[in-house]
Structure 1
Amino acid sequence: MVGWRLRLAAGVASATLALLPLSTWAIDNPDAPDLAAAFEVRAKHYEARVAAAAGGGPELSVALAEYAKFLDQELNAAYAGAHARLGAAGKADLRAAQRRWLAWRDAEGAFIDGQWTQSTAGSSYLLTRALARAAPVRERTLSLLRYLRELPPAADK
């Protein structure tokens, strides 16, 4: 009695897992430029500079500041691109989501600053703190760029 239920559940799970990739492939637009990959290439320059200066000193502060500025500019450009392609309702939704994300980012930054101090993390606290603050901005930028790739052209709005 239990055997057929187990086989049925396994069959349903297998079919679901087998079809799952099809749903993700269906939304990909192979003709759209890969903005996320292009961002990754641009980011590597700044990330390499941070890694090269990781030993400390003024070079590290400069590299971290330039990386943060780069990420902020990229985030703003990705947001503007996605925003431009949306209709009125989509723009309002994206604006609300971005405001909530910014509030979360600021709260996360305050948490990071409170946890990674010189007394708790030693001499690497500035590097650790800056990279922990940069990670969510980098990920949000990638998310917006992926959305942008899938949104219809602005002419439709």
Structure 2
Amino acid sequence: MKHPAVIFLGVLLAFASSVIHAETAKRPVLKVETIDDKAWDLAAHRGQWVVVNFWATWCAPCIAEMPELSAFIKARKDVEGIGLAYEDTERQEIVDFLKKNPVDYPIAQIDVDTPPADFDTPRGLPTTYLIAPDGSVARQFLGPIKDKDLEQAILAAKAANKD
């Protein structure tokens, strides 16, 4: 039988590990290669609001929200975005889709078996995260969103940070 101090140390280390991961998730790391072969790093966008949108070419609500997301991101100098194509398909299929459905933000295809570690695995699509200028997650949305949803989330996060 293990000594109680060893057991306690193991529990303490497990707790510390989960706390560290929880801290990381509050300020997620995201480094991807975009469809046009450019490196994209969330950390490089500190100081901006960033919309991280998980979507798929077969997802009707995703396709429906893309023009409005694109217009919102394009209209605001303080907002950037990244679309994460969350599907197991050929890259060329996504390229062809984007020719018919262009957006004003970069798109990256991510592996559905190993999605970005600092983001929850999407339970449905679309799933969108609003990242605050300090790199923290300001809001998570499940399902389609409108520009007014993002605007309200930005205003709420700004108001919460004034306290």
More helix by share: 1
TM-score of the superposed pair, with normalisation by structure 2: 0.28
Is the radius of gyration larger for structure 1 or structure 2? 1
